[in-house]
Amino acid sequence: MSDLKEIEEAQHHVVSPKIYAIIAIALLVLTATTAGVSYLELGEFNAVVALAIAVFKAMLVVLFFMHVKYSTKLTKFTVVAAIFMLMGLISMTMADYMSRAWGRW
Amino acid sequence: MSDSSAIAQGAVAEAGTPHGEHPPYQRHHFESMDQQADATNFAMWLFLVTEVMFFGGMFTAYLIYRNWYYPAFVSASHQLSIVWGTTNTAVLITSSFTMAMGVWCAETRRKSGLVLSLVLTLLLGLVFLGIKSIEYHEKWEKHHVPGLHYSMEAFLNPASDPAVFKEYHDKPMALDMARHTELYFFLYFAMTGMHALHMIVGMAILIYIIFRARAGAYTSGHVTFVENFGLYWHFVDIIWIFLYPLLYLISRHQ
C-alpha cells in the first residue's frame, strides 16, 4: 500500500492551506477595493479600473484555486487558448459592429 | 453472459490479479495514474472552455448593447444594490476558499475536514442564492422583470423612485431611450440567471459529493472527482467576478 501512496503523491502537487488563505484574503481585499473605487469619480477610468481588478482576481483564482500554476503544460495551454479564443471572437464581433456604424460609436 | 463480458473476464484471467500493480481506481485503458489524472483534468478544462464560450456570447451582447443604449443601461444599473452585490461577491469568494480547502482535505486524506469544507461551500452557495432571490424579488415588485408588466416609470420619471433618485439624481429619459432599459434587465436576468443555474447544478452535485465523502470515497487517494468539481465551482466564481463590476459598479457616475 505504501508504494501506491507514493505513486499518488508523485503525480499530485498539493497546494497548502496557507496559500489558499492568502489568496482568499487578497480576493476579499480586491473586492472591497473595487467597490470603494466605484464611489470615486474617475470618468471612463471607472470601467477600466473595475475590469482590471476583475481580471486580476480571475487570474488569482485560475492560478491558485484552480491549480493552473502547478499544472501540466497541456492545461496551461488550454487556459491560454480559451482566453485567446474569447478575445478573438469578441474583437471580431466588435470590429463588425463598429465598422457598420462607423463614427457613431 | 454476453460475449463482451466473457472476453473481459478472459482478459482478466490472462493477466492474473488485475489490480496488483496499480491503484484499484486506475482504469485499465490508462498506462498509469499520471496519464489518467492528466486526461481527466484536460477533459474538465475542455468543458470549461465551452462554458467560457457560452458566457462569452452574453458578455459580448452586454458590451454591444451597453454601447448602443448607453443612457438606458446606466440608469437601469442604478437600480441594483451595490451592498447586495458586494456581499454576494464576498460570499462566493469565501465559498471558493472552502471548496479549495475541501480539495486539500481530500488530498491529505482528512475525511471530517473534507465533509466540513463541502458543507460550508454548500451553505455559502445557499446564502448567495438567497441574496440573489431578495434582489430578484425587488425587481419583480418594481415591475423590472422584462416582458412581465414591465414598467419604465422609474426612468421616465426618476423622482417616482425616491430611494434610487436620492443617490443618483438621474434625469428623466425620453421614451425611445427609456424602453431600452428593458434590454438591460433582460441581459441582467439572462446572465445572473444562467450563473445562478450553474450554481444550482453545482450544489446538486455537491450534495451527492457530501454523501459520498461521508462514506470515505475521496479520502483514500482518489481525489479526481472532488478536484474537478472544484474547478467547476471556481469557474462559476470567476463568471461572477466579471458580472459584479459590469452590472453593479461601472455605471455609478454617469
For position B64, which CATH number holds? 1.20.120.80
Residues A58-101: pLDDT tens digits?
A: 999 999 999 999 999 999 999 999 999 999 999 999 999 888 87
Structural domains in chain A (count): 2
SS3 track for A4-39:
HHHHHHHCCCCCCHHHHHHHHHHHHHHHHHHHHHCC
Chain B interface disruption, residue of A66, A90, A91, A94, most B CBs within 10 A? A66
Can you give the length of chain B in residues? 254
Same domain, A13 and A48: yes
Q: Which residues of B78-96 are buried (b: 16+ CB within 10 A; e: fewer)?
A: bbbbbeebbbbbbbbbbbb
Chain A residues whose CB is inside 8 A of the B116 CB are none
Count Cβ atoms within 10 A of the Cβ of residue B143 and give its class: 0-12 exposed, 13-18 middle, 19 or more buried.
Answer: middle
Residues B195-238: pLDDT tens digits?
A: 999 999 999 999 999 999 999 999 988 899 999 999 999 999 99
Same domain, A48 and A96: no
Q: Nearest-CA distance from B39 to chain A in Å?
A: 10
Residues B63-93: pLDDT tens digits?
A: 999 999 999 999 999 999 999 999 999 999 9
Residue B215 falls inside a structural domain: yes
Chain A residues whose CB is inside 8 A of the B65 CB are none
Same domain, A63 and A84: no
Q: Nearest-CA distance from B149 to chain A in Å?
A: 31
Asked whether the beta carbons of residue B245 and residue A50 sit closer than 8 angstroms, the reply is yes
Structural domains in chain B (count): 1
Q: Is the pLDDT of residue A55 over 80?
A: yes
Task: Give residue A101's domain range.
Answer: 72-105
Q: How far apart are CA A42 and CA B177, in angstroms?
A: 25
Longest dimension (CA), chain A: 70
Count Cβ atoms within 10 A of the Cβ of residue B11 and give its class: 0-12 exposed, 13-18 middle, 19 or more buried.
Answer: exposed
Asked whether the beta carbons of residue B82 and residue A35 sit closer than 8 angstroms, the reply is yes
Instruction: With a threshold of 0.90, tell me whether the complex ipTM lies above it.
Output: no
Same domain, A48 and A81: no
Handedness of CA A59, A60, A62, A63 (dihedral sign): positive
Q: How confident is the model at residue A11 (pLDDT cuts 50, 70, 90)?
A: low
Mean pLDDT of B161-180: 88
Asked whether the beta carbons of residue A50 and residue B249 sit closer than 8 angstroms, the reply is yes
Same domain, A60 and A77: no
Same domain, A42 and A16: yes
Chain B residues whose CB is inside 8 A of the A21 CB are 97
Same domain, A62 and A77: no
Same domain, A17 and A43: yes
Same domain, A55 and A78: no
- Supply the pLDDT for residue B20: 66
Q: How confident is the model at residue B254 (pLDDT cuts 50, 70, 90)?
A: low
Residue B10 falls inside a structural domain: no
Q: Nearest-CA distance from B142 to chain A in Å?
A: 25
